[in-house]
Amino acid sequence: MSKKFLEVRGLKKYFEAGRPSFFAKDPRNVHAVDGVDFTLRRSEVIALVGESGCGKSTLALLLMGLENPTAGSIKFEGMDITHLNDGERKSHDLRRKIQMVFQDPYESLNPTQTIEEIVTEPLLVHGMMNTPDRDERVQKAMEDAGLKPADVYLRRYPHELSGGQRQRVVIAAALVLEPELILADEPVSMLDVSIRAEVINLLAELRIKRQIAVIFITHDLGSVGFFADRVAVMYLGRIVEIGSMLEVLENPKHPYTKALISVIPVPNPRLRHERIILQGETPNPINIPSGCRFHPRCPVAIASCALSDPPMLSLNKSHQAACLLLVK
């Protein structure tokens, strides 16, 4: 346990957005991910929360090695994997150890493959096609993903399954390789509310059964409340608050987190509290606001917020936030 499982330092990804005019010297950049730091322990679940466009999906693609970071580093089990190419990733077994569950189970399954082909393919790719326990592995992955009994589903095609079942197939295809880390990019946002809890429970179960670490990306703080160990709140490409789930939910420090938590629906009407409705839109990630990137929308901003970028402050051992008002 001496070396950290996953360590992300100063990770940045800029996309070129073309030159503003023909004579402009530098092309404009979209600052999709703009300096992200966090660590993850083995079999820990972290929820990555933020509005759409805050860079959480780009972060996932960076961790998967599907995009090349502009700056920063990613270390996995002590090894720097930031700039590995496809072949190197494969030879270090990263494509097996890190699996991804995409947002839309209607789009992320090849319509011409049967469920059996979809779940078996990862084994084939990783040269495990001829292991004697192949069929058992497929069966076990499917049953662990909640497709029981597996035989019923093997011969079917994705279009014959419901959204929840499809997402279970996606999870089964990830599980079959016995990964150590699963990146789940809004895995429930395309599903009916009634099935969301099931899929989240499934991920929570897997983490206990198989000791898999999960990075759970979502825009809905309410949906991960009971299953993540820690929460990281992202705003405009940067983490603004990170801490243990309870700490952050009970005692949020960053005004953005406070606003997000205040709009989680509470079923009991007597407990209704005041909601903080943020003004305006998320700023354009091409022109990041000066100083604290949240200040134009911040309900409690002071003058100096527009001038200096707040550093990450440790509030206690397991809770950090980046806000000038916390500096005493």
Partner 1 sequence: MNLTRAILRKAAWSVFTILFVIILNFFLFRVLPGDPARAGIRDPRLKKEAVEMLRVRFGLDKPVINCFESLNPITLGDCNVNPLDTQFFIYVRNLTQGELGISYHTNRPVADVLAERLWNTVLLIGAGQILSIIIGVALGVFAAWKARTYLDYGAVAASLVAWSLPTFWLGIILLFWGSSNGFPLAGKATPGMSSMPLLQQWGDIARHMFLPTLTYTIVYLGEYTLIMRSSLVDVLSEDYILTAKAKGLSAFQILKDHALKNAMLPLVTVIAINLGFTVAGAIQIEAVFSWPGLGSAIYEAVGRRDFPILQGAFLLIAIAVIIANFLADLTYHWLDPRVQVE
Query: What is the nearest approach in angstroms of partner 1 to the Cβ of residue 207?
Result: 20
User: Based on CB atoms, which residue is closest to partner 1, 79 or 302?
Assistant: 79
User: Based on CB atoms, which residue is closest to partner 1, 130 or 268?
Assistant: 130
User: Based on CB atoms, which residue is closest to partner 1, 178 or 309?
Assistant: 178
User: Is residue 198 helix, strand or coil?
Assistant: helix
Which parts of this chain interact with partner 1 (CB under 8 A)?
64, 66, 86, 89-90, 95-96, 99-100, 102, 104, 107-112, 114, 121-122, 125-126, 157, 159, 170, 173
Query: What is the nearest approach in angstroms of partner 1 to the Cβ of residue 170?
Result: 8
Query: What is the nearest approach in angstroms of partner 1 to the Cβ of residue 103?
Result: 8
User: Based on CB atoms, which residue is closest to partner 1, 66 or 263?
Assistant: 66
Q: Using alpha carbons only, what angle is made at residue 270 by residues 266 and 276, rounded to the nearest 5 degrees?
A: 50
Return the CA Rg of the chain.
21
Residue 302, C-beta contacts closer than 8 angstroms, at least 6 positions apart: 324, 325
User: Based on CB atoms, which residue is closest to partner 1, 107 or 192?
Assistant: 107
The number of CA neighbours under 13 Å toward the Cβ of 221 is: 25
- Per DSSP bridges, beta strands 230-235 and 45-49 are parallel
Query: What is the nearest approach in angstroms of partner 1 to the Cβ of residue 163?
Result: 14
- Sheet containing strand 29-40, edge to edge, reads 29-40, 6-16, 71-76, 79-80
User: Based on CB atoms, which residue is closest to partner 1, 16 or 107?
Assistant: 107
Query: What is the nearest approach in angstroms of partner 1 to the Cβ of residue 90?
Result: 6
Q: Which two tokens stand for residue 75?
A: 């270390």
Cβ 48 vs Cβ 218: under 8 Å: yes
CA distance 129 to 149: 22
CA distance 49 to 63: 16
CA distances from 283 to 13, 23, 51, 236, 296 (A): 17, 25, 11, 8, 9
Query: What is the nearest approach in angstroms of partner 1 to the Cβ of residue 110?
Result: 5
Query: What is the nearest approach in angstroms of partner 1 to the Cβ of residue 95?
Result: 3
CA distances from 99 to 64, 112, 159 (A): 8, 22, 23
User: Based on CB atoms, which residue is closest to partner 1, 126 or 258?
Assistant: 126
User: Based on CB atoms, which residue is closest to partner 1, 9 or 90?
Assistant: 90
Query: What is the nearest approach in angstroms of partner 1 to the Cβ of residue 140?
Result: 18
For the chain, where are the E strands, in sequence order? 6-16, 29-40, 45-49, 71-76, 79-80, 98-101, 181-185, 213-218, 230-235, 238-244, 313-316, 319-321
